[in-house]
Structure 1
């Protein structure tokens, strides 16, 4: 890499990202003033009615953490981190080579310009940016891109992934992918950021959104290949029509000159993580939508960080809806959770106002005992909040047309909540990350209701205002300011909810909130994983117990914690982002912005038993890339490799990576599948 680009700066932004990534992905949010300046301690009856931690803990079955066996570690020169060496015998009755599902040789921290996987594993690119998926779409031609071609090709910067079954078609699955953002400097030769052409802008519109593509399994391996021109294949872009549903649909806050009804929106932007529903649809969280709208001084509120002048991509020059001075309500029509029916290519995707408007990292559902979905989501910005929506409707079983119509309305009625967390050892939190005397960062919590249907629970705000200005509503009720809550995932085995808190380097700075027990480190650059245990294991509960499952960083750093597992026997991890579960109940974590000097990666960690907290790195991604959208099946791991080569100073002419197609080819985000060479299940 050094010989290829000796002059490129790879000095990261806050949290480890390159300046180029911050520029295109979130509009330099980490260089802007934190939008949340509220002093939101709330002394109202809602908090006073919260149950004590001890009563919650008595009602929740807590796992006893036992120290367990692991592997020896050796230093990796130049990284300040550690990596696994040969396995060693462990205590207890567990196998010495890891928990079931995690029995692989860990990948050491590295800066390889490649996807690096464990010994005995193979890999293959599933699909790249620009690969055709619709009938009539041409093969990708880097030097002759058109918007029309991109509308039929796989989009840019793949993030969330879902693989759904395809009954009646053996060996096939339906893959749905988010396309979070476009990096024009890496897409177009000779790109002038001050004067993009209309064609470049329209290619960017088409590169955003979602892709639905059927994939074929290769017998005997874990390889997946796209089925081009399948009837279910579909592209959703910045110009696709969406239906606005739920209690704020039709609100005057959502009307524009093009849509006086406030119920029809064009496009979806900055889709980050998402979720897969039990009724067979996919959910997609619109995240950093603020960066697409110019002249934000005309915006109704100041909590969403809209730029005051021109935007990075200059879309406002080509469509008035991106100019807040002309269309002040257009930003209100983005920042929602989107639902897509991948089995109906003619369906209109929906934006669900009942789940609130914020920078959704994802949206992962879980059913209550009586069949109502509860959806968890994080607001990915410094000092923002954790939310839950609980539907008032029950899911209908089956695949009849009536059942599918009903289930598409499940997220339109219910109650939206925000989380308030209280630590049980507040006097011990000094910002250093030192564990309290009880050996855990833990406490109790309450879900504070914000709105139910047309009824607001927030004094001084209407229900429409709560849904459209959800951050302001959460400020008013005293929600806990978190360290960038990103992906949120309930365990399908235990019901415990895991929250990736990526980092917050503003924590504890002058004039900013200091450490608390849920966010125990000032200047937090490595992040942590929060574990929630809801009362009676019921997702409709309004109380919960919580603890920090992992406090990330170099295991040699005293300010790290791995659920009590011996730290000398784990892989180093920094900046957790997306999370998922494997068939064995292990949590898998992808990272974004590793601050330990190595590339981002995917990690598996045991959540139960004597190996709880044993964390092992499964793969790493190329230079400049982020690991996204992990899926862990019995015989396959799938990840989205996002923004490879996105290092400072990179361009088409001076690439920061040669992945995936080698020197002389355009760097292209892509989806990768990994499998065992012997054909057996992953990690067993």
Structure 2
């Protein structure tokens, strides 16, 4: 379509992104966050809680962008031996436990979804596919607000598959839920002129939120297909009613002209990652919600708007709905930035925003049960120099009691993480950690702030207790087979040599890293933990990279870890990336890295997504070699025809990779 090419010609007007993303991603996902001042201006020390060895001091004085990592890990196999792990070298590790032939890195301009030999793929559902009854078939030239409300939403980030059972026909039926994080008007609208109209703004609002659809497959060598008339199908968008619960619900600052009680919110925005719960619901994180609100001229005497990046601008939605003008509705901004919970089995249920889990740029929330049955939620605040959080419920999980369990996230304790290094004498970045209390037993542990204030302005509360400033903490996932917890630190190009510490060891961190920790006593509710870095990403030819001590010649390049997941096998960590095109020149993709055994650190690439796209999700069932991924923003900043349906309209959505012959093009 010639209109698409014309729309893309406007993108070079956007400023380049220092972290490697395309200008379009930076503009539409996070509102050019990296071009704005860092919101965290607290004076929390970078080195005050780190034991600095002589090696660390020399590395800092060297002043290179990766000086610390290079000093500590230039001889990676030796580092592994010092940690009591076997040396991984390429000749011995190659071929063991792989399960698939690793693909070669795909150049960033290739428009294809590349999978390993012996696998094929098929689209499951794409933007615009009809979901709810009465929704029309997708037509890019005949879009409307009402049509989009019933069609699959735009973009696809967090993804989960909830099968109806684990045996027989039930394991081949279920429901998938995926987030519709943000919209790309230059790709959505053939007549886009550079600024959205009021009608286009409403279509964008309808394309945000979440999509829930029933799926089926015939056997282990067939794709999942979505069911057009599934009884559980549902679209959640900017007009869907949500209930507010927890400490902040009903507070004065949650009340608006259309919600005098402060307990009912319309919509969920910028939903990034999420998590399943043991009781069968889905959690979703509201992330870069700041960009939707025009704060031009709005007073900010206490700095609350600035700490959340709500400054000015917006996406033009205020012309369609006054609630996106901070001057018109000053409290509406407080009603976004939460963890939401949805019951996918009940399309008539009211989703909930849980204020007890705190308000910040939630990447997502993942659940692990403590030894005493309390639900523990791990959360990352996806911002440069922001923090990692943990919530511990007051009530305990009851097997089979869904009604009770859906109240677990309404009340509990909230903590923020401090990472303390132990020096580099052991050749590793590792140390101890502690969970600093913000709310415990229904009482605020932050002087001068009530529980409701802590939960609403959680960033400001955390600033006061001294947690560790991290390099954009995104997905946080516990390994269900080992109990260890992993966090993806995507990047932070704003970190200077004077701000590095053992948990964030690189200045100008373009490539990101992954941290592993084990809670004390292997109890998720513990308040202390032991941590170490297991991956320092980048081109393995760079001596500053680190792959858990494995010989770097045996691994594949990887950059900007975003989502992490597990496949049911012990120690199989899967990593999806967001930013490889602008940092190492390859398409983003999905990688597997064992975290235990002789292959620990052996990064292999399983797939790559099309040019301009980000790999999200993922959902892996390795026993039947089934991999579901979200293909987000294909063609962003370039040209893509994904999912290759015979036209040139790029349509983000969900793809299924499974054993079979390569799909013809």
Residue 668 of structure 1 pairs with residue 651 of structure 2: yes
Q: How far off is 1:246 after superposition?
A: 1.1
Q: How far off is 1:13 after superposition?
A: 1.5
Residue 203 of structure 1 pairs with residue 206 of structure 2: no
Q: Which residue of 2 aligns with 1:15?
A: 19
Alpha-carbon contact 1:580-1:631 (below 8 Å) kept: yes
Residue 34 of structure 1 pairs with residue 4 of structure 2: no
Q: How far off is 1:11 after superposition?
A: 9.3
Alpha-carbon contact 1:378-1:387 (below 8 Å) kept: yes
Equivalents in 1 of 2:125, 2:218: separation in Å? 14
How many residues align? The count is: 612
Q: Which residue of 1 aligns with 2:178?
A: 177
Give structure 1 stretches of 5+ with no counterpart: 49-61, 71-88, 426-435, 651-655, 680-684
Match of 1:25 among 25, 29, 34: 29
Equivalents in 2 of 1:333, 1:290: separation in Å? 11
Distance 1:222 1:379, change over 3 A: farther
Match of 1:321 among 320, 323, 327: 323
What do you get for the CA RMSD once the two structures are aligned?
Answer: 2.3
Q: How far off is 1:42 after superposition?
A: 11
* TM-score (norm. length: structure 1): 0.86
Equivalents in 1 of 2:403, 2:120: separation in Å? 41
Q: Which residue of 1 aligns with 2:76?
A: none
Q: Which residue of 1 aligns with 2:87?
A: 67
Q: Which residue of 2 aligns with 1:75?
A: none
Residue 310 of structure 1 pairs with residue 319 of structure 2: no
3-state DSSP of counterpart to 2:114: coil
Distance 1:252 1:493, change over 3 A: same
Alpha-carbon contact 1:222-1:673 (below 8 Å) kept: no
Q: How far off is 1:65 after superposition?
A: 2.0
Match of 2:105 among 95, 105, 108: 108
Distance 1:303 1:475, change over 3 A: farther
Equivalents in 1 of 2:491, 2:46: separation in Å? 25
Match of 2:149 among 148, 151, 168: 151
Q: Give the alignment of 1:184-263 within 5 angstroms.
A: 184-194=185-195, 196-263=196-263
3-state DSSP of counterpart to 1:646: coil
Q: Which residue of 2 aligns with 1:445?
A: 433
3-state DSSP of counterpart to 1:392: strand
Tell me the alpha carbon deviations over residues 405-428 of structure 1, each in whole angstroms, 9 at most, x when there is no partner.
111100011100000111111xxx
Distance 1:103 1:169, change over 3 A: closer
Give structure 2 stretches of 5+ with no counterpart: 51-81
Alpha-carbon contact 1:65-1:563 (below 8 Å) kept: no
Match of 2:483 among 495, 498, 503: 495
Equivalents in 2 of 1:332, 1:500: separation in Å? 27
Alpha-carbon contact 2:210-2:237 (below 8 Å) kept: yes
Residue 538 of structure 1 pairs with residue 516 of structure 2: no
Q: How far off is 1:256 after superposition?
A: 1.1
Equivalents in 2 of 1:379, 1:30: separation in Å? 15
Alpha-carbon contact 2:248-2:456 (below 8 Å) kept: yes
Q: Give the alignment of 1:248-647 within 5 angstroms.
A: 248-295=248-295, 297-299=298-300, 301-311=304-314, 313-398=315-400, 403-425=401-423, 436-452=424-440, 454-508=442-496, 514-585=499-570, 586-594=572-580, 595-633=583-621, 634-635=623-624, 636-647=626-637
Q: Greater share of helix residues, 1 or 2?
A: 2
Q: How far off is 1:596 after superposition?
A: 0.3
Tell me the alpha carbon deviations over residues 491-548 of structure 1, each in whole angstroms, 9 at most, x when there is no partner.
0011110000000000017xxx610000001111000000011100011000001000
Alpha-carbon contact 2:163-2:170 (below 8 Å) kept: no
Alpha-carbon contact 1:242-1:348 (below 8 Å) kept: yes
Distance 1:13 1:310, change over 3 A: closer
Equivalents in 1 of 2:321, 2:19: separation in Å? 33
Q: How far off is 1:289 after superposition?
A: 0.3
Alpha-carbon contact 1:107-1:116 (below 8 Å) kept: no
Q: Which residue of 2 aligns with 1:52?
A: none
Q: How far off is 1:664 after superposition?
A: 4.0
3-state DSSP of counterpart to 2:140: coil
